[in-house]
Amino acid sequence: MDVGESCSTQLIDAEGSFNASGLERFLGSVKLAECGLSYAVVSIMGPQSSGKSTLLNHLFRTNFREMDAFKGRSQTTKGIWIAKAVGIEPCTIVMDLEGTDGRERGEDDTTFEKQSALFALAISDIVLINMWCHDIGREQAANKPLLKTVFQAMMRLFSPRKTTLLFVIRDKTKTPLEHLEPVLREDIQKIWDMVPKPQSHKETALREFFNVEVTALSSYEEKEEQFKEQVAQLRQRFFHCTSPGGLAGDRHGVVPASAFSFSAQQIWKVIRENKDLHLPAHKVMVATVRCEEIANEKLSRLASDEDWLKLEEEVQSGLVSGFGKKLSSILDSYMSEYDMETVYFDEGVRSVKRQLLESKALHLVHPAHQTMLGHLRSKTVQKFKSSLEQKFKKGEGFAASVRSCTRSCLSEFDKGCTEIAVRQASWDPSKIREKLRRDIEAHAASIRSAELSEIVSDYEKQLTETLGEPVESIFDSAGNDIWASIRKLYKRETKRAVSGFSIAISGFELDQETSNKMINNLIDFARSVVEKKARDESGKVLMHMKDRFSTVFSHENDSMPRVWTGRENIRAITKDARAAALKVLSALAAIRLDGKPDKIEHVLSSSLMDGPAAQERIMQASTDPLASSTWEEVSPRNTLITPVQCKSLWRQFEQETNYTVRQAISAQEAQRRIRLPAWVFLAMAVLGYNEFMLILRNPFYPMVFLVVFLLCRALWVQLDIAQEFRNGPISGILSVSSRFLPTVMNILKRLANEGEKHGTPTGHQPSRRSSSFRSQSLEPEAITNSVPDASSSTHVLSSESGIEDLS
Ligand SMILES: Nc1nc2c(ncn2[C@@H]2O[C@H](COP(=O)(O)OP(=O)(O)OP(=O)(O)O)[C@@H](O)[C@H]2O)c(=O)[nH]1
Ligand SMILES: [Mg+2]
């Protein structure tokens, strides 16, 4: 119930219920929370109907209910009422207590009296003790039990400060105050001495607990003017009473105004539970609770702060410039609000709660800071990637580029960390920095390995090109010492590649062991190229041998194709050709990159080239050097063709080349048959001289001779007599005789056709055909004298009639 400006409100009712909501409303309306420590609490105690409410209303211009003098003296104020003093600075809260010794509660029920006295002492700076003047010095005075109650209550309070007890003597008589006061103080001392005290306060003087002040007022009923005047004087003492030396000058242990409501509630709760009231502990408790409340309120306001929420959202999508400053200032504003609101609370408590608030607030914003660090880290990694690529492209050494980029990126990261750092926090970004360093190292390592792989593959490609085909060509040319040439090529190209490779990897500053390993790998690769090529060629060894055989067998020393005239020593030529082929077999039997001497050629030559004699030797020696799968002094790794394989290859080779040799022999024999000895020509000249002269003298004979010659020649060509007789005279005669007549007929028919055509306007045509006939008819002779290629073993001869014949 609010009444007027003083907002008089019942704080505790007669049953002892605390009106918390009423108090909150009251404090809100008087704006006590803004006062900090600058407020005073005054309460009044005294016998029932002793004019307490009347005094307070006059002193503080409050509106406490007073007894209506015309209705008799009965209890007016029940419980405890609270109001604000009007016109007094600082803010003064006035409490009007239920009178003591009231007949309404009965003589024995002093519980509420004691509880309210204790409550008033605990929360008031000044307690007015209202007493009748005529009670002073009286043994059975009404104020004695009251004082006893007050002092006993004080023993339970452990108050850290001195409360002012202002004794207000009502209805003062003509006896001056100077005489009354010593008597009153004596009365008070007597009661103090009588009050049982705890051992620690046995000798404690009253003044150590209270400031005792005494004042006297005239009767309000009888001398109202004087009463008002004296009250006005008394009122002056309440102005700025909280200043040092004032009635409420001792501010130790004052609860901050914002905690007044909570503190009062707690005190009343403790009093009702009949527990001792330890005010210092209570003060700490109040500070703890209030500071916690304030801190929680700040934290929840921070969590929903618009600036913070906006910042938090921005952080999700990338780096936010000025993050550290913005966040620090938001946090700062809430921390300083907390500081302001808790300034009057216990220093220890508020600083503990401040730390707690700060740590909770930092906990709230920490994820955003971490996200920022994450952005910073990924941005730095990207920066490192691009700057490394640029530097490397410019031709700076890889290791040097990595070093300088790492240095600059890490220093940029450190700068970024300083920018996003929150002033209130001491978050250590070293873990993220370490992660960043690992990211950078991992990227550098992956680029290093990719670049090195590319270099390796470039040089491997180069080696494949510079060794592969040249090695193949060496095998093809089948020179004198194939492996010496290969070794020379291998050494030259490997040396060149190794020196280029060493320069290319120097920028990576690899340790000696790694670079040596890579160089060795490259050398091994070069070796493997040669070995692979040798292996490939060894798979085609038979072809190489036949090629070589064919080259030697079918060509003269000057590489011209050999024409079998009948004078050649085919046996010797065959032997030479086979020896050359055996050399090829020997070369392809094993890899000889190390240049170690071996006996492969010797073994092959002695076992395969010496013919039956060798076979005989082998039979006698009981051990065939080629009946083995390994070569002496050659490792299996270097073996391309085993001795056993060589033997079977040689057998196959002989079979396939025998045909070529036979062809050569046949050609030679044919040549020999058609050549007449010289004496035949001499005999013919001597014996046929007369006939020859006869023919020369008669011009008809040469003409007939010419015609006969041409006919015979045409028959020779058409019947391919040389070819027919190649398979023996009998089969030749049979074949020629069966084809003789049709051929003659054919020739005559052609001649007739030619003659007919000769008579027509385009008669020059036959002569051309005839010359063509002649020129073509000479060709087969040359062809039949050449030897077919051993490798193909199939030779196609083209005759004038267009018939294809397999020889
Ligand atoms: N004799 C005398 N009577 C007074 C004085 N002041 C007030 N009264 C009268 O005493 C009666 C009680 O006044 P209240 O102010 O209600 O007294 P109270 O102590 O608040 O009474 P409770 O609240 O019931 O304990 C009223 O009739 C007043 O007129 C005074 O100075 N002298
Ligand atoms: Mg009253």
SS (H, E, C) 248-278: CCCCCCCCCHHHHHHHHHHHHHHHHCCCCCC
Q: Which residue lies with its CA nearest to atom 22 of ligand 1? A: 49
| 445 part of a folded domain | no
- pLDDT value of residue 619: 61
Q: 30 C-alpha vs ligand 1 centroid, how far in Å?
A: 27
pLDDT category of residue 60 using cuts at 50, 70 and 90: very high
- pLDDT value of residue 69: 65
Q: 65 C-alpha vs ligand 2 centroid, how far in Å?
A: 6
**Of the candidates 43, 748, 469, 125, which has an alpha carbon nearest to the alpha carbon of residue 756?**
748
Q: Which amino acid is at 258?
A: S
Among 92-106, 175-189, 449-463, 618-632, top mean pLDDT goes to: 449-463
| 682 part of a folded domain | no
- pLDDT value of residue 758: 57
**Is the confidence at residue 793, as pLDDT, over 50?**
no
Q: Which two tokens stand for residue 599?
A: 């006996």
Residues annotated within the binding site for GTP are 46-53
Q: Which two tokens stand for residue 84?
A: 């604000």
- pLDDT value of residue 512: 92
- pLDDT value of residue 697: 75
Cβ burial, residue 109 (10 Å; 0-12/13-18/19+): exposed
- pLDDT value of residue 782: 35
Task: Compute how many other C-beta atoms are within 10 angstroms of the C-beta atom of residue 499.
Answer: 11
Cross-sheet strand order for the sheet of 91-97 = 9-12, 80-84, 91-97, 39-45, 126-132, 163-170, 210-216
Higher-pLDDT residue of 695, 107: 695
Q: Is 52 in the pocket of ligand 1 (CB under 6 A)?
A: yes
Q: Is 219 in the pocket of ligand 1 (CB under 6 A)?
A: yes
Share of the chain above pLDDT 90, in %: 45
Q: 117 C-alpha vs ligand 2 centroid, how far in Å?
A: 15
150-208 pLDDT per residue, tens: 788 777 776 667 889 999 999 998 888 888 899 888 888 888 888 888 887 788 888 88
Q: 230 C-alpha vs ligand 1 centroid, how far in Å?
A: 17
Q: Is 381 in the pocket of ligand 1 (CB under 6 A)?
A: no
Share of the chain above pLDDT 70, in %: 86
Q: Which amino acid is at 225?
A: E
Task: Compute how many other C-beta atoms are within 10 angstroms of the C-beta atom of residue 130.
Answer: 26
| 680 part of a folded domain | no
Report yes or no: 372 and 321 within 8 Å, Cβ to Cβ.
no
Cβ burial, residue 195 (10 Å; 0-12/13-18/19+): middle
Give the dihedral sign, CA 476/480/484/489: negative
226, 258, 277 — which closes off a domain? 277
Task: Compute how many other C-beta atoms are within 10 angstroms of the C-beta atom of residue 668.
Answer: 17
- pLDDT value of residue 710: 83
Q: 327 C-alpha vs ligand 2 centroid, how far in Å?
A: 56
- pLDDT value of residue 670: 81
**Eight-state DSSP code of residue 720:** T
- pLDDT value of residue 413: 95
Q: How far apart are CA 124 and CA 41, in angstroms?
A: 5
Whether 594 and 517 share a structural domain: no
Q: How far apart are CA 546 and CA 744, in angstroms?
A: 44
Q: How far apart are CA 674 and CA 785, in angstroms?
A: 12
**Beta bridge partners of residue 93, listed in sequence order:** 41, 84
Q: 49 C-alpha vs ligand 1 centroid, how far in Å?
A: 5
277-290 pLDDT per residue, tens: 777 888 888 899 99
Q: Which domain holds residue 291?
A: 283-427
Q: How far apart are CA 739 and CA 735, in angstroms?
A: 6
Report yes or no: 489 and 521 within 8 Å, Cβ to Cβ.
no
Whether 313 and 348 share a structural domain: yes
674, 708, 742 — which closes off a domain? 674
Q: Which two tokens stand for residue 604?
A: 């092959």
Whether 731 and 617 share a structural domain: no
- pLDDT value of residue 804: 31
Whether 356 and 479 share a structural domain: no
| 598 part of a folded domain | yes
Query: Residue 90: is the preceding peptide bond cis (ω within 30°)?
Result: yes
Best residue among 58, 95, 130, 220 to mutate for probing ligand 1's pocket (most ligand atoms within 8 Å of CB) is: 220
Whether 262 and 150 share a structural domain: yes
* Index of the ligand 1 atom closest to the CA of residue 170: 31
pLDDT category of residue 5 using cuts at 50, 70 and 90: low
Q: Which amino acid is at 167?
A: F
Which residues are close to ligand 2, an ion, with C-beta < 5 A? 52-53, 76-77
Q: Is 66 in the pocket of ligand 1 (CB under 6 A)?
A: yes
Best residue among 54, 78, 130, 173 to mutate for probing ligand 1's pocket (most ligand atoms within 8 Å of CB) is: 54
CA angle 734, 740, 745 (to 5 degrees): 160
Q: Is 466 in the pocket of ligand 1 (CB under 6 A)?
A: no
Ligand nearest to the CA of 113: 1
Q: Is 113 in the pocket of ligand 1 (CB under 6 A)?
A: no
- pLDDT value of residue 773: 34
**Of the candidates 81, 45, 48, which has an alpha carbon nearest to the alpha carbon of residue 63?**
81
* Index of the ligand 1 atom closest to the CA of residue 220: 31
Q: 26 C-alpha vs ligand 1 centroid, how far in Å?
A: 26
Q: 93 C-alpha vs ligand 2 centroid, how far in Å?
A: 16
166 to each of 169, 216, 238, 247, 304, how far by Cα in Å? 10, 10, 12, 9, 50
**Is the confidence at residue 781, as pLDDT, over 80?**
no
| 78 part of a folded domain | yes
- pLDDT value of residue 85: 95
Give the CATH number of the domain where residue 161 resides. Answer: 3.40.50.300
Ligand nearest to the CA of 51: 1
> How many residues belong to the chain?
807
**Is the confidence at residue 444, as pLDDT, over 80?**
yes
- Helices and strands (H and E) in the chain: how many: 27, 9
738 to each of 78, 724, 733, how far by Cα in Å? 165, 12, 8
Where would I find the H helices in 568-610?
570-589, 600-604
| 362 part of a folded domain | yes
| 436 part of a folded domain | no
**Is the confidence at residue 762, as pLDDT, over 90?**
no
Whether 209 and 116 share a structural domain: yes
Q: Which of 16-20, 122-126, 730-734 has the lowest mean pLDDT?
A: 730-734
Higher-pLDDT residue of 508, 799: 508
Where would I find the H helices in 195-346?
224-236, 260-272, 279-303, 306-316, 323-341
**Of the candidates 188, 190, 194, 196, which has an alpha carbon nearest to the alpha carbon of residue 169?**
188
Q: 96 C-alpha vs ligand 2 centroid, how far in Å?
A: 7
Whether 167 and 253 share a structural domain: yes
Mean pLDDT for 541-545 is 91
Higher-pLDDT residue of 225, 769: 225
Task: Compute how many other C-beta atoms are within 10 angstroms of the C-beta atom of residue 203.
Answer: 8
**Is the confidence at residue 695, as pLDDT, over 80?**
no
Q: Is 76 in the pocket of ligand 1 (CB under 6 A)?
A: yes
* Index of the ligand 1 atom closest to the CA of residue 54: 15
Which residues lie closer than 8 Å to 469 by C-beta, 6 or more apart? none
Whether 45 and 164 share a structural domain: yes
**Of the candidates 91, 103, 123, which has an alpha carbon nearest to the alpha carbon of residue 11?**
123
Host H or E run for residue 114? helix 111-123
Q: Is 712 in the pocket of ligand 1 (CB under 6 A)?
A: no
Q: How far apart are CA 122 and CA 278, in angstroms?
A: 10
* Index of the ligand 1 atom closest to the CA of residue 99: 25
The mean predicted confidence, pLDDT, of the chain is: 84
- pLDDT value of residue 709: 84
Q: Is 159 in the pocket of ligand 1 (CB under 6 A)?
A: no
Q: 52 C-alpha vs ligand 1 centroid, how far in Å?
A: 6
* Residue that has been written with the tokens 């398979």 in this structure: 727
**Beta bridge partners of residue 78, listed in sequence order:** none
**Eight-state DSSP code of residue 555:** B
Q: 45 C-alpha vs ligand 1 centroid, how far in Å?
A: 13
Q: Which of 121-135, 278-292, 635-649, 684-698 has the lowest mean pLDDT?
A: 684-698
CA angle 312, 386, 420 (to 5 degrees): 25
508, 539, 570 — which closes off a domain? 539
Q: Is 304 helix (H, G, I), strand (E, B) or coil?
A: coil
What percent of the chain is helix, strand and coil (3-state, nearest 5)? 65, 5, 30
Q: Is 99 in the pocket of ligand 1 (CB under 6 A)?
A: yes
| 1 part of a folded domain | no
Among 96-110, 466-480, 689-703, top mean pLDDT goes to: 466-480
Q: Is 220 in the pocket of ligand 1 (CB under 6 A)?
A: yes
Q: How far apart are CA 515 and CA 501, in angstroms?
A: 10
Whether 301 and 236 share a structural domain: no
Q: Is 172 in the pocket of ligand 1 (CB under 6 A)?
A: no
Whether 264 and 308 share a structural domain: no
Instruction: Give how many domains the chain has, as a whole number.
Output: 5
Q: What are phi and psi of 806, to 5 degrees?
A: -90, 125
**Beta bridge partners of residue 806, listed in sequence order:** 796
- pLDDT value of residue 665: 87
Q: How far apart are CA 716 and CA 718, in angstroms?
A: 6
Query: How far apart, in Å, do the first and last CA atoms of the chain sit?
Result: 141
**Is the confidence at residue 298, as pLDDT, over 90?**
yes
Q: Which residue lies with its CA nearest to atom 29 of ligand 1? A: 69
Higher-pLDDT residue of 688, 359: 359
- pLDDT value of residue 621: 60
Q: Are strands 80-84 and 210-216 parallel, antiparallel or unpaired?
A: unpaired
Q: Which residue lies with its CA nearest to atom 9 of ligand 1? A: 51
Q: Is 263 in the pocket of ligand 1 (CB under 6 A)?
A: no
Q: 44 C-alpha vs ligand 2 centroid, how far in Å?
A: 9
Whether 264 and 312 share a structural domain: no
209-228 pLDDT per residue, tens: 888 999 999 999 999 999 99
Q: Is 75 in the pocket of ligand 1 (CB under 6 A)?
A: yes
366-409 pLDDT per residue, tens: 999 999 999 999 999 999 999 999 988 888 889 999 999 999 99
Whether 509 and 570 share a structural domain: no
Ligand nearest to the CA of 76: 1
Q: What single string gives the DSSP state of each residue in 738-798?
A: HHHHHHHHHHHHHHHHHHHHHHSTTTTHHHHHHHHHHHHHTHHHHHHTSPPPTTT---EEE
**Is the confidence at residue 776, as pLDDT, over 60?**
no
- pLDDT value of residue 109: 65
Based on its alpha-carbon atoms, the radius of gyration of the chain, rounded to whole angstroms, reads 68
Q: How far apart are CA 541 and CA 528, in angstroms?
A: 19
Q: How far apart are CA 567 and CA 622, in angstroms?
A: 41
Residue 355's Cα: distance from chain center in Å?
A: 36
Q: Which of 288-297, 442-451, 584-593, 621-630 has the lowest mean pLDDT?
A: 621-630
- pLDDT value of residue 764: 39
Q: Is 788 in the pocket of ligand 1 (CB under 6 A)?
A: no
* Index of the ligand 1 atom closest to the CA of residue 50: 19
Q: Which residue lies with its CA nearest to atom 27 of ligand 1? A: 69
Ligand nearest to the CA of 105: 1
Q: How far apart are CA 281 and CA 718, in angstroms?
A: 144
Q: How far apart are CA 112 and CA 100, in angstroms?
A: 9
**Is the confidence at residue 509, as pLDDT, over 70?**
yes
